[in-house]
Amino acid sequence: MQYWLFRILSYLALLLGPSVQAQSTEDIIAADKGVTSERGREAGWYLDQHQRLSKAITAIKPQTPGKVDAYILVAGLDADPVFQSESQETARVLTRRYNADGRTIWLAAASQNGAAQGSPTNINIALAALAAKMDLSEDVLILYTTSHGSRKIGIVYQDGRQGFGMIAPRRLGQILNDLGIKRRLVMISACYSGEFVPFVASADSIVITAASPIRTSFGCTPGNDWTFFGDALVNHGLRTPKPLANVASDAAALINSWEKSFNLEPSEPQVSIGANSNLWLAELEKAVPAEATKKVGKPAIESEAFAENAAKPAKAATESK
């Protein structure tokens, strides 16, 4: 355990700089096993986490027989403020779009506003709790995560210098499959998040990621309210009545236009739509409100760092996740 802890701490220290692009076999094995570490936490912190998560789970409404209900989990996994604001507003947008009031759990990037921590452990518990509430043959899980990411490692969890961990693509796919959640819409905002597609996609699922398996995504600059992906997909798209397929394609085009304006290497967002997904998506989209809500927060492209470095692509690229 001490070895893995050392590996995690060494790896996550690098996240203070540009995104890590390659990992050792040991790192990948650790991520596949879901290694997580909390250090220096007081006993009261664990109790508080338990109480917050238990409260959120207890409040989840049962499913409606004969109706396709959406059960939503939104999680920010890094304490950088952009992941906090993006995850919180995304939870609101998805809840409204898919009529999921009382069926949404938001896990905060830094245990704020009464929400439990967006950690791998809490995500596991929340997913299991939602699966227990759902009719797995009828209902749909909607999962949105936002954080830093790295190749092969997947989604990275970091809460200052106390919480560390990772959720690998293989690990997430295994969790969802083991819980029997076949109908799922998974959206992942992170660098290299295309890594998740082969492990999470299926005939019954839809997967949308911020980048291809070999590209970074952008917008996690300090002071931002949105990443490029979150702003385009959620703030511009999902709060409108457009069909999901149109939202995804429009978001990819918008992101590409932003990246071109800053001379950034394209992130290449990925979309995988399973052959059977329309069986549930058509029912869910009947609940989409006809009126759009107003966009909120500072647009991702208005970051001072991007504005100052628009003519310096190499430097601007370090603002990736």
Average pLDDT, the chain: 88
* Cα angle, residue 179 at apex, residues 63 and 68 outer, rounded to 5°: 25
Residue 282's domain spans which residues?
2-319
**3-state secondary structure at position 262:** coil
Question: Tens digit of pLDDT for each residue in 176-204?
Answer: 999 999 999 999 999 999 999 999 999 99
**3-state secondary structure at position 150:** strand
Nearest Cα residue to 319 out of 251, 166, 217, 226: 217
**What is the distance of C-alpha 190 from the center of its chain?**
7
pLDDT at 304: 58
**3-state secondary structure at position 200:** helix
The answer to whether residue 56 scores a pLDDT higher than 70 is yes
pLDDT at 30: 75
pLDDT at 160: 86
CA distance 264 to 270: 17
Nearest Cα residue to 64 out of 105, 106, 101: 101
Give the mean pLDDT of 226-235.
97
Cβ(135)–Cβ(63) under 8 Å? Answer: yes
The domain total for the chain is: 1
Sign of CA dihedral 282, 287, 268, 104: negative
Residue 270: which CATH number?
Answer: 3.40.50.1460
Nearest Cα residue to 192 out of 261, 269, 98: 269
Question: pTM of whole model > 0.75?
Answer: yes
